Amino acid sequence: MNRKNISILGSTGSIGTQTLDIVRLNKDLFKIEGISTNKNIELLIDQIKEFNPKKVAIYDEIAFNNFLKLKEVNEYKNLLNGIEILKGLDGLVEISKSKNIDILVTAVVGMVGLLPTLAAIKNSTTIALANKETLVTAGEIVMSEAKKHNSNIIPVDSEHSAIFQCLNGENNNKIEKILLTASGGPFLGRKKEELECVTKNEALKHPNWTMGAKISIDSSTLMNKGLEVIEAKWLFDVDPKDIVVHVHPQSIVHSMVEFSDSTVMAQLGCPDMRVPIQYALTYPKRISSNFDRLNLFEASNLSFQEPDLEVFPCLRLAYEALSHGGTDCTVLNAANEVLVQYFLEEKIKFYDIPKYISLAIKEHSFIKKPTLEEILDIDKWTRDFISNTVLNVQKV
């Protein structure tokens, strides 16, 4: 396999650091060209020392200014000399549109991943997609651009990677259903009244996966699965009604595909995000790893159940937004991003998240076939609407 040049958006986050774990073990196969962080400049410095990237972007303005000051410190002068240091969303776009990279790993959280991804697609760069929101907010535009520019989009989410792997070699064989698995999160089996006053610390305790705060909260509300349903529609070109969520607490079966002849193909493995990350980086080849091996004798109890849409209304809202189409998914995503942050800051309660999402979808000016500019405008409107609504409620 030829050596690949990689840039990582969100190199200091959970997916980003695990990507670097794989690069660290396979330096003959991968070279880091660019990395970015929101504000974790301490870890960013360590990554610069180890991987010597050509470009570095810092999204947060305060963190960027603090980082620039390091150039005047003797300890860091030589380290940072010759590195292009970039700021904000423009910096992420600049890293992404470099023609020197073979793969862009989009591991940032939220809508911020959309424009950098589109910039990379225009250069026919392969996208290792870990940023759900890119396809949730603008799936039709992104997939159309990818096809136009011959850019491969390889999913990194364990569920979508599983589906992608199940479809390898199937060519145009008809998919009857996608069976998307969900762990059920930390509140599986709980009643609605039990979740009225849950804390952020309870919601952050995922039983199987180690993830960032935002994705952990999304998992607790099942919005994470709702976003994955929308993402699956665009990645695999299936009807929303043919994407069926199966709650699978053991997180061993990462997802399945049912074909028209009734065959069901599944991808199994230990819950370890490095597996789908590595597959995205090496596709279409597989390389050896030291990851834990699945022992089916020890994991013999594999169970599945339907999700409870009354207890977890965010999943229902995602299905409804996808069925309605247009800007509903953009509003769903933007409202959720703001509300999850408010929940983490303990400004709202657990069920305020679906309540305000539903309100924002109802109140926005719906567009059936939005342009990119209209999507960005609706995203901004939604964030302002949610902020003003929550602020007004708190004043009462």
284: preceding bond cis by omega (within 30 degrees): yes
- Average pLDDT score over residue span 5-23: 97
Q: DSSP character for 241?
A: G
210 and 82 assigned to the same domain: no
> Do the domain assignments include residue 291?
no
Count Cα atoms within 13 angstroms, Cβ side, for 301.
2
- Average pLDDT score over residue span 317-336: 97
Whether the pLDDT of residue 393 is over 80: the answer is no
133 and 196 assigned to the same domain: no
Whether the pLDDT of residue 396 is over 70: the answer is no
Mean pLDDT of the chain: 95
> Do the domain assignments include residue 314?
yes
Whether the pLDDT of residue 37 is over 80: the answer is yes
Q: Which residues of 281-293 are buried (b: 16+ CB within 10 A; e: fewer)?
A: bbbeeeeebeeee
Q: Which of 135, 155, 175 is the last residue of a domain?
A: 155
> Do the domain assignments include residue 46?
yes
Q: How far apart are CA 238 and CA 232, in angstroms?
A: 8
42 and 129 assigned to the same domain: yes
141 and 173 assigned to the same domain: no
Q: Give the model's pLDDT for residue 241.
A: 95
149 and 214 assigned to the same domain: no
86 sits in which H/E element: strand 84-87
Residue 87, helix vs strand vs coil = strand
Q: Give the angle subtended at the CA of 311 by the CAs of 157 and 137, to the nearest 5°.
A: 40
142 and 65 assigned to the same domain: yes
- Average pLDDT score over residue span 107-131: 96
200 and 107 assigned to the same domain: no
Whether the pLDDT of residue 180 is over 80: the answer is yes
Q: How far apart are CA 35 and CA 57, in angstroms?
A: 7
- Average pLDDT score over residue span 46-58: 97
> Do the domain assignments include residue 364?
yes
How many domains, the chain?
A: 3
120 sits in which H/E element: helix 114-121
Q: Are 354 and 314 in contact (CB under 8 A)?
A: yes
Per-residue pLDDT band for 395 (boundaries 50, 70, 90) equals: low
314 and 331 assigned to the same domain: no
Range of the domain at 104: 4-155
73 and 180 assigned to the same domain: no
Write out pLDDT tens, residues 69-84. Answer: 998 888 898 999 899 9
> Do the domain assignments include residue 295?
no
40 and 143 assigned to the same domain: yes
251 and 345 assigned to the same domain: no
Strand partners, 58: 37, 87
Q: Are 139 and 230 in contact (CB under 8 A)?
A: yes
76: which residues sit within 8 A by CB, 6+ positions away?
Answer: 45, 70
99 and 38 assigned to the same domain: yes
> Could you tell me the pTM of the whole model?
0.94
